[in-house]
Structure 1
Amino acid sequence: MDVSDKFENKLMDINQGSSSKNDIIKKFDDLADTFDEFSKGSGYTALKYCSTLLSKHIPDRKANILDFGCGTGLVGEQLYQLGFQNIDGFDCAPKCLQVAENKQIFKRLFCEFFSGQTLNLATDFYDGLICVGGFFPSGLKANCFREWIRIVKPGGYILNAMRRSFLETCLDFNDGKLEGEMKALESDGKWKLILTEEFEAGRKEWNMILFLHQIL
């Protein structure tokens, strides 16, 4: 089994199974010590692709960026390499956040399990928010969108990327449910869709779709 296959097995272990809070946190924390090694050796390109795209829309490298569902900080690493200086991370798994903290690239790290609540984060603070891979069957749901909109300032950007297949197979997302929630918020004047794009991320199972919105 090559590195790509091993990484896919780790991802699928997260993507499937129990949706209980404690089980999800344990799954992520059990991977904390090895996740970076497998990710970087697997050929998975979504992290770099999404970070680069966001950087093209936010030229100010002193902008405040939140990596939502940051895990061990792999997206943060990409943003840091692109020159961003003020990166925060948010995740539910304390062991993953310890790995992220050791990289010394984050200004602040927040550990909390998100289930739709109002977070202890300032309104209109961030210039950009990025979430890569946070939407999966037992992961984030559309109830995060309003909270994301609250903490990102008008004119700021939100980039959300997920596996394309989950839009069809996940009961919370399929039949247009997830995109319908996005469009409803656009109709309410909360944000506007700048770009939606499908892209390959290293192997067929990793084909992704991203949504880039700007806050109004």
Structure 2
Amino acid sequence: MKWVSCSCYVPCRWVGEEEGGSLSEVRARVGASHGITDLGHKLHFYDRWAPDYDQDVAALQYRAPRLAVDCLTQALPGPPHAALILDVACGTGLVAAELQARGFLQLHGVDGSPGMLERARARGLYQNLSLCVLGQEPLPSSEGTFDAVLMVGALSDGQVPCSAIPELLRVTKPGGLVCLTTRTNPSNLHYKEALEATLDRLEQAGAWERLVAWPVDQWELATSELEVVPRTSDSDGFISGIVYLYRKQEGAQVEGLRPSPQPPAGL
């Protein structure tokens, strides 16, 4: 499979029949995904990427799903099998695989890419999967449904906007947990600043309390030398990231947390 540039709406495309590719080709695909800032173009890109997504992120040693689930598992009270979990922007189901390995069985997922959902459905780990473009429509769930909500890898430009964060809180039970991740490499720092401003505003409003803000140096292999963690080289360098964990407060009432009048059917 070859990776080429083009002048169409999606900046790059796949050609050829071969599976996989070199690390440089994988880096090109992942780097291209980071560079698309239009949501519609991004979703189309993910539809095309879905068949190769798992092997590509494995080649880059992508650690966010495991790190996020490790963080959640340590804080969630009660037995894992009893917890109802929502995996937002679930992709192909990498987070669900980590959750199931730790005994979580009640897994629901949403994603904006039909191609990614098809791959997630094939894993057979979710009890329910729904198509939802968060930021443009509400989550298809009632207020206070889930014991924990995770969103791993989708908080960056062109993906889920910061304005959608209260929607995650809406569907979380009082006392439930919300686990989020984002990259902290140079090209994502502007988004990270906006994200943290949103997270802090919600905490100041009494909507939730921060339990963890865990910076991680070795998040995934860098896609370019400009993104490498300082004091490493591009050949073995990683970008950095961060895991956040919050607990929803009892009786949280802030702007943006009002339930949708009629949530779409699904979960």
Amino acid at match of 2:108: D
**Residue 17 (str. 1) matches residue 50 (str. 2):** no
Q: Does 1:70 align with 2:90?
A: yes
Letter in 1 for 2:196: E
Q: How does 1:149-188 map to 2 (within 5 A)?
A: 149-165=169-185, 169-170=189-190, 173=191, 176-188=193-205
Structure showing greater Rg: 2
- Choose the corresponding residue for 1:209, options 219, 242, 251: 242
Amino acid at match of 2:36: G
Distance 2:187 2:57 in 1: 23
Distance 1:76 1:4, change over 3 A: farther
Comparing 161-170 with 26-35, greater Cα deviation is found at: 161-170
Deviation at 1:41, TM superposition (A): 3.7
Counterparts of 2:139 and 2:21, CA distance in 1? 40
Change (3 A) 1:136 1:3: farther
Tell me, in whole angstroms, the C-alpha distance in 1 between the residues paired with 2:200 and 2:173. 19
Asked whether the 8 Å contact 1:136–1:166 carries over to 2, the reply is no
C-alpha deviation, 1:197, in angstroms:
1.2
Which residue matches 1:45? 63
**Matches of 2:159 and 2:186, distance apart in 1:** 11
Structure (1/2) with the larger helix percentage: 1
Measured in 1, the distance between the counterparts of 2:106 and 2:29 equals 30
Count how many residue pairs are aligned between Structure 1 and Structure 2: 212
Aligned to 2:233: none
CA contact under 8 A between 1:124 and 1:152: conserved in structure 2?
yes
What amino acid sits opposite 1:34 in the alignment? Answer: D
Taking every aligned residue pair, what percent have the same amino acid on both sides? 21
Q: Does 1:8 align with 2:27?
A: yes
Q: Which amino acid aligns with 2:197?
A: G
**Amino acid across the alignment from 1:17:** I
CA deviations 1:67-88 (Å, max 9, x no partner) are: 1111111111111111100011
Aligned to 1:109: 129
Counterpart amino acid of residue 185 in structure 1: L
Letter in 1 for 2:195: L
CA deviation map 1:126-184 (0-9, x unaligned):
111111111111111211111111100011111111101268643xx35x432121111
131, 139, 142: which is aligned to 2:151?
Answer: 131
Which shifted more, 151-160 or 194-203? 194-203
Please, what TM-score do these two structures have when normalized by structure 1?
Answer: 0.89
Q: Which runs of 5+ in 2 are unaligned?
A: 1-19, 222-227, 229-237, 250-267
8 Å CA contact 2:157–2:188 kept in 1: the answer is: no
What's the Cα RMSD here?
2.1
Match of 2:16 in 1: none
Take 1:141 and 1:208, find their aligned partners in 2: how far apart are those partners?
Answer: 18
Is this contact kept in 1: 2:150–2:180, CA < 8 A? yes
Counterpart residue number, 1:195: 212
Displacement of 1:60 in angstroms is 2.3
1:28 corresponding residue in structure 2: 46
Task: Report if aligned partners of 2:148, 2:176 keep a CA contact under 8 Å in 1.
Answer: yes
Report how far residue 116 of structure 1 moved. 4.8
Letter in 2 for 1:91: D
Name the aligned partner's letter for residue 208 of structure 2.
Answer: W
CA displacement at 1:3 relative to structure 2: 5.5
Distance 1:146 1:215 in 2: 11
